[in-house]
Structure 1
Amino acid sequence: MSPTPHTLDGWLAHAELLHARVIDLGLERVQAVRAAMQLQFTCPVITVAGTNGKGSTCAMLEAILMAAGYRVGVYNSPHLVHFEERCRIAGQTVNAQDLLPHFAAVEQARLTAGVGAAAVSLSYFEFTTLAILSLLASQRLDAVILEVGLGGRLDAVNIIDTDCAIITSIDLDHMEFLGPDRESIGREKAGIMRAAKPAIVSDPQAPQSVQDHAEDIGADLWLAGRDFHYTHLPQQWGWQGRAQRRHSLAFPALRGANQLLNASGVLAALEALQAALPVAAQAVREGFARAELPGRFQVLAGQPTLVLDVGHNPHAIAVLAENLDSMGYFPVTHAVFGAMADKDIPGMLRRMLPLIDVWHLCDLPTPRAASAKELAAHLLALKPDARIAQHPDPLQALRAAAAAVELTDRIVVFGSFYTVGGVMQEGLPRLHGKHLVSSPQ
């Protein structure tokens, strides 16, 4: 038997070695360990699934509930730079030291929950999810927000019964696990719904499978455009739910053309939960104004302009392109791009081609990634005269882009959490002319 790890890095390395498959959807193994841990929550739980918009939805919910005076715990994934980013309690990222006893508790339960002498085999995601859920359950919280990692029905987060499900936009991603079309993917994401509990769907064109599943299990379905909707005015926006109206709202601090869809779903969830978690109008205003989420159309201060976005599927890239279009004129736009090999790389590139003048393609530190050379081949197939440079990692790609730009130009870093996280390894990147500097995050 290997010695018990005493550091977070040690536990993460241990978790990586436990299971043969990186992604192994299914709840039987993780449920067995959860039962052995007697893991449960006594406060309202909000579970958020969807293809895009999950992180923004969680961030706005957290900010509003905190502004209302509630003590809130959040689990989201993946992280950008440090594993601890996956969990926040009362707005603060957890300390590595605080996670250690919960990793030990998962390991102890894993060893005792198996059949006979065999321990339960958990994937890295399952092991770390259980540890973070254990930490959250040990806190005195008023609300817990859980972001689904992949899909919904068979994701490890779904071992916890939600008090309110939120499903954000549904599009084509992870098709090898979730199915070939929006109906199949919607059916998987609808698996987070629970009978007689509110299920908020902020996608204005929800697949029929989502509506059918809600009806089949008797969930309280809130559909965008039917049960709630928003009005976009030039300087403000308004929202109407089943019984509540919210007028003259300032636009959320989170940038992007899609954020009102996410914000609208957040307000529907708050109305659905008002008996358990009442929220005043001022808390809504403060929360929308304070919400932050690194790497989601994040425009950093300085010149030249630097934009970070973790978009990694064609739908997210279409939103990014729309947001970039709305920024105004830049003589030259450079891109730093790295992506996973299993993504629709041509679909992402095709949408960005009209906006990008120079491409800085990079390798990423994971075997799942496409190499810079492979990305270049995709790009040249679409645009034979594309201006391309290849780099061994995102930070070197950003340094090369910074050396090539003028003050009035723009750099966009996108394509994966690894790409954006890679340029943030030394802190939040800042551009001062052709010099790249980093500031603490």
Structure 2
Amino acid sequence: MTFTKAQDVINYLYSLPKLHEKADLSYIKKVLTFLDNPQDKVKTVHVTGTNGKGSTSYYLSSLLQKAGQKTGLFVSPYVFEFNERIQLNGQNISDADLVKTANAVESALTKIRKTNNNFSLVTFEYEVVMAFFYFARKKCDYAVIEVGIGGEHDKTNVITPEVSIITTIGLDHEQIIGPTLQDIAREKSGIIKRNRPVVLGNISKEVLPIIQQKAQKEHATIKLLGKDFKISLQENLTYQDQNKKISFLPRPLVEGYDVGIAISAVSLLGVKLSAAEIKEAINQTKIPGRYQIVQNNPLVILDGAHNIQAMQNLLNFAHFEQKKKQGKVKVLIMMMKDKDIEQVFKLFKPEDEVYITTIDYPRAAKKKDFPTWIQEKYQYQADWETSFRSLKQKSQTNDILLVTGSFYLVGNILQMETKNAGSRS
């Protein structure tokens, strides 16, 4: 098969199976071998965590670029377009490069199928192989690689990174890498490699020993948030370690943790950055769909929080802002059927105005997929666009409107808002 258009590549990727019978790395390793192991030709930083791994990856990419490094970035999910998944120096992979890269992968698969006719990759494996091949072909100095799910068995775990990062450990994807928090910690600790340092974010005392034991076994030095570097939030967000203290533009404390992790990680890479350059790189970083303010008065915040920990962080921030603004917190939420719907909805305060919506996507929860008590308590409107417009219109200037629960909903609304802004200009 030969691709000629980017959309053909994307359609093909989504037609592939999602899982193999065996959850191992043998399939992806075989294809990478046929491509001359591109993952070994670029220095990498490997980032996992229940929450914050996307933000940390973006901050780290910005810092490396500021240090003059040619930097690849592999992240998920995307908000505007598929090409966001694979970036070079902050620019999405072009359609032409996407096609060229996919055809290179297809060439390797054709060779493998000469002896193994039924061989295929799952969607995420194919995307990971494309990213590594592209970064090697472009001769990146560094590539920041965000884990898909977990760590040890994740398809990205075919690298020996310069630094490993674990941002947080909470409950998400329990059916795949759980069921307990301890199971999830063990899975995520699988990205720690021998004699390679690891940076740890806001890890609870409950599971920290599991990570520490793995690091000790691999002779990996640890840099821990709260011990080796600190983040504080007074008027501004401030990072401090034994060598420097830097203040940044205000942002939620939980987002500040990701800033701190990224700065701590980049300091281990030996690239040169002044305090002024670090400040500039962080302040200029834009992370799509994460604590993204699209309007003030009323304050409209888009955030793809889709698990208990991320939603609690977002609501803490909203309620903190609410006290200053003396308005109401309104929430437009859409969730996937396989998420902890009931536990997420228990986080809302009685005074929060919560509205449920959905999108046209197979995994998206419809009204019948919500527990009965949620259906009875909260209003459901199937049309997300109508729901959003109506809520925005009804909100007072001192209200806070959160759009959350899924990056798919956030992406749809961002695209709609961008189109509207374009038509007004």
Report the TM-score, using the length of structure 2 for normalisation.
0.91
The alpha carbon displacement at 1:165 in A equals: 0.4
1:265-314 CA-partner distances (Å, limit 9, x unpaired)? 2222122212xx22222221111211110111112234432110100111
Measured in 2, the distance between the counterparts of 1:258 and 1:332 equals 22
Name the CA shift for 1:119/1:389 in 2 (closer, same or farther; >3 Å): closer
Determine if the alignment matches structure 1 residue 279 to structure 2 residue 290: no
Tell me which amino acid in the other structure corresponds to 2:344.
M
Name the CA shift for 1:35/1:426 in 2 (closer, same or farther; >3 Å): same
Measured in 1, the distance between the counterparts of 2:258 and 2:273 equals 18
Counterpart for residue 47 of structure 1: 46
Q: Residue 379 of structure 2: which of 381, 388, 408 is its match? A: 388
The alpha carbon displacement at 1:20 in A equals: 6.2
The alpha carbon displacement at 1:61 in A equals: 1.1
Name the CA shift for 1:376/1:402 in 2 (closer, same or farther; >3 Å): farther
SS of match in other structure, 2:286: coil
Moved more, 223-232 or 160-169: 223-232
Counterpart for residue 412 of structure 1: 402
Q: Residue 248 of structure 2: which of 213, 230, 251 is its match? A: 251
Q: Residue 26 of structure 2: which of 10, 25, 28 is its match? A: 28
Q: Percent identity?
A: 26
User: Which structure 2 residue ranges, 5 or more long, are not aligned?
Assistant: none
Counterpart for residue 83 of structure 2: 84
Counterpart for residue 213 of structure 2: 212
Measured in 2, the distance between the counterparts of 1:423 and 1:171 equals 27
CA contact (8 A) 1:49 1:147 kept: yes
Determine if the alignment matches structure 1 residue 368 to structure 2 residue 363: yes
Tell me which amino acid in the other structure corresponds to 1:318.
Q
Measured in 2, the distance between the counterparts of 1:354 and 1:133 equals 47
Determine if the alignment matches structure 1 residue 116 to structure 2 residue 115: yes
The alpha carbon displacement at 1:233 in A equals: 4.5
Moved more, 138-147 or 412-421: 138-147
The alpha carbon displacement at 1:202 in A equals: 1.2
Aligned-residue Cα RMSD (Å) equals: 2.4
The alpha carbon displacement at 1:97 in A equals: 1.7
Measured in 2, the distance between the counterparts of 1:178 and 1:20 equals 16
Moved more, 171-180 or 136-145: 136-145
Counterpart for residue 341 of structure 1: 337
Measured in 1, the distance between the counterparts of 2:20 and 2:116 equals 24
Counterpart for residue 377 of structure 1: 372
Structure 2 counterparts to residues 247-326 of structure 1, below 5 A: 247=245, 249-252=246-249, 255-274=251-270, 277-326=271-320
Measured in 2, the distance between the counterparts of 1:279 and 1:316 equals 31
Measured in 1, the distance between the counterparts of 2:239 and 2:75 equals 28
Moved more, 211-220 or 328-337: 328-337
Name the CA shift for 1:259/1:213 in 2 (closer, same or farther; >3 Å): same
Measured in 2, the distance between the counterparts of 1:178 and 1:112 equals 33
The alpha carbon displacement at 1:173 in A equals: 0.3
Measured in 2, the distance between the counterparts of 1:18 and 1:111 equals 16
The alpha carbon displacement at 1:239 in A equals: 1.2
The alpha carbon displacement at 1:198 in A equals: 0.8
Tell me which amino acid in the other structure corresponds to 2:63.
I
Measured in 1, the distance between the counterparts of 2:417 and 2:3 equals 28
Measured in 1, the distance between the counterparts of 2:129 and 2:326 equals 46
1:59-107 CA-partner distances (Å, limit 9, x unpaired)? 2112222222222111100111310111221121221221111111112
Name the CA shift for 1:29/1:43 in 2 (closer, same or farther; >3 Å): closer
Counterpart for residue 391 of structure 2: 401
The alpha carbon displacement at 1:115 in A equals: 7.8
Structure 2 counterparts to residues 70-149 of structure 1, below 5 A: 70-114=69-113, 116-149=115-148
Measured in 2, the distance between the counterparts of 1:176 and 1:124 equals 19
The alpha carbon displacement at 1:421 in A equals: 1.2
Name the CA shift for 1:75/1:235 in 2 (closer, same or farther; >3 Å): closer
1:207-239 CA-partner distances (Å, limit 9, x unpaired)? 222112112222222233343334545445241
Counterpart for residue 186 of structure 1: 185
SS of match in other structure, 2:389: helix
Counterpart for residue 224 of structure 1: 225
Measured in 2, the distance between the counterparts of 1:378 and 1:342 equals 18
CA contact (8 A) 1:71 1:143 kept: yes
The alpha carbon displacement at 1:109 in A equals: 1.2
CA contact (8 A) 2:18 2:123 kept: no
Measured in 2, the distance between the counterparts of 1:22 and 1:82 equals 26
Aligned length: 418
The alpha carbon displacement at 1:133 in A equals: 1.9
Measured in 2, the distance between the counterparts of 1:94 and 1:44 equals 19
CA contact (8 A) 1:73 1:136 kept: yes
Counterpart for residue 432 of structure 1: none
CA contact (8 A) 2:332 2:355 kept: yes
Name the CA shift for 1:245/1:125 in 2 (closer, same or farther; >3 Å): same
Measured in 1, the distance between the counterparts of 2:335 and 2:169 equals 20
Q: Residue 356 of structure 1: which of 352, 357, 364 is its match? A: 352
The alpha carbon displacement at 1:31 in A equals: 0.7
CA contact (8 A) 2:74 2:85 kept: yes
Higher helix share: 2
Report the TM-score, using the length of structure 1 for normalisation.
0.88
SS of match in other structure, 1:159: coil
Measured in 2, the distance between the counterparts of 1:403 and 1:285 equals 37
Measured in 1, the distance between the counterparts of 2:356 and 2:67 equals 44
SS of match in other structure, 1:425: helix
SS of match in other structure, 2:24: coil
Measured in 2, the distance between the counterparts of 1:134 and 1:372 equals 42
Structure 2 counterparts to residues 415-430 of structure 1, below 5 A: 415-428=405-418
CA contact (8 A) 2:381 2:387 kept: yes
CA contact (8 A) 2:356 2:381 kept: yes
Name the CA shift for 1:259/1:405 in 2 (closer, same or farther; >3 Å): closer
Moved more, 325-334 or 299-308: 325-334
Measured in 2, the distance between the counterparts of 1:311 and 1:23 equals 30
1:167-191 CA-partner distances (Å, limit 9, x unpaired)? 1011000001111122111111111
The alpha carbon displacement at 1:388 in A equals: 1.0
